[in-house]
Amino acid sequence: MDPLQPLNLDDFSDLIERPDGGIRRDAEERRERLVVPPGALGRLDELGEWLSAAQSAVRVRAIGQPKAVLFAGDHGVAALGVSGRPAGTGHLLARAVLDGESPVAVLARSMDVPVRVVDAGLDCDPELLPEAVVRHRVRRGSGRIDVEDALTPEETEAAVRLGIALADEEADSGTDLVVLGDLSVGGTTAAATLIAALCGTDASVVTGRGGAGIDDLAWMRKCAAVRDALRRARPVLGDQLALLGAVGGADLAAMTGFLLQAAVRRMPVVLDGVVGAACALVAQRAAFRAPDWWLAGQVSGEPAQAKALDRMALNPLLDQGVHVGEGTGALLALPLVRAAAALAAELPERPEPAAEEADPAVEVL
């Protein structure tokens, strides 16, 4: 994307190609010849063939340089009491990851997967986090989407361009698969609003309990916030950038840009929860081929996530009841993806049956 030209997400429709269909057919034919009968490995067969197409290689390469990329941000709507965490405490989530004390950090350490935390819109003093984390910040917190825009048009474009630039950085550094997650307070409210708007559903249909869990009264407040934000979202449904600015947030806009550019760079992404699903749905609206480069890591239990994944025809790999967010569920799916790659690459093919020699005593007429 030319930084000197106005950003138009619809341009991604021409930039994104599908994974190589010819390679996938060749991989399917090779799978028919392996020693293990077709279908015996279940979805691992499908995963291996998907990886072949994504890598443009019949014999799948191992996932050698995965990375967890977590976009952090605070949302003004959290001040309404719609989250299980106090408003403005997203930096504590980021700090827990950096200190190795959060679930995603523990899992990443056990799997030897590096984690990158990106502050797109945390509401804290920059000095509370390392400079490498905060240097990309678009703004301090996002607006209260039930009554005001989350971002100005300039901030929205800056956030999307941030995601694009980070996807390029990861692809250029050799990252061959990204586990995408969010570190947000109030982010699931924004995500539910985006999904409800894009799927044409009511607030109560998409509103869940969030990663931190909320009681019934907080759920009712969250429904009301989504309902009010939806009124602001519907007039700008035809413009993805305006939609992200109205009811998204800096972290969601950056994730959307990241997903689109990752597809341009042919870099597979594993989605985690409802926030990633919402960004993916916005990205799909801009470029219909983009979801071919993504995997749904897990079922988070959020009704909005299920609706978004169904709209994109993405079938989650895992359902373990994990709803902590932060990329945790998606990271849990990584060993499954790695297993599929190893099996597709290393299982031998059945030997060709030896040709029967003609019996010299038999006269052939």
CA distances for 47 relative to 52, 60, 91, 181, 337, angstroms:
9, 10, 35, 21, 7
Residue 205: burial class (beta carbons within 10 Å; 0-12, 13-18, 19+) = middle
Residue 142 lies in a domain: yes
Residue 359 clears pLDDT 70, i.e. is over it: no
Residue 45 lies in a domain: no
Instruction: Calculate mean pLDDT across residues 74-88.
Output: 93
Residue 226 lies in a domain: yes
Residue 18 lies in a domain: no
Each residue of 36-73: pLDDT tens digit?
A: 888 889 999 999 999 999 999 999 999 999 999 999 99
Residue 354 lies in a domain: no
Tell me phi and psi for residue 49, to 5 degrees.
Answer: -70, -35
Spatial separation of the C-alpha atoms in residues 208 and 301, rounded to whole Å: 8
- Which helix (H) or strand (E) segment holds residue 227: the answer is helix 216-233
Catalytic residue (choose from 46, 157, 326, 346): 326
Residue 365 clears pLDDT 50, i.e. is over it: no
Residue 2 lies in a domain: no
- Which helix (H) or strand (E) segment holds residue 69: the answer is strand 66-74
326 is catalytic: yes
Domain carrying residue 288: 66-338
Residue 357 lies in a domain: no
> Model confidence at 179, in pLDDT bands (50, 70, 90)?
very high
327: domain CATH number? 3.40.50.10210
Each residue of 219-258: pLDDT tens digit?
A: 899 999 999 999 999 999 999 999 999 999 999 999 999 9
Q: Mean of the per-residue pLDDT values for the chain? A: 92
Number of independent structural domains in the chain: 1
> Model confidence at 326, in pLDDT bands (50, 70, 90)?
confident
Rg (CA), the chain: 22
Residue 1 lies in a domain: no
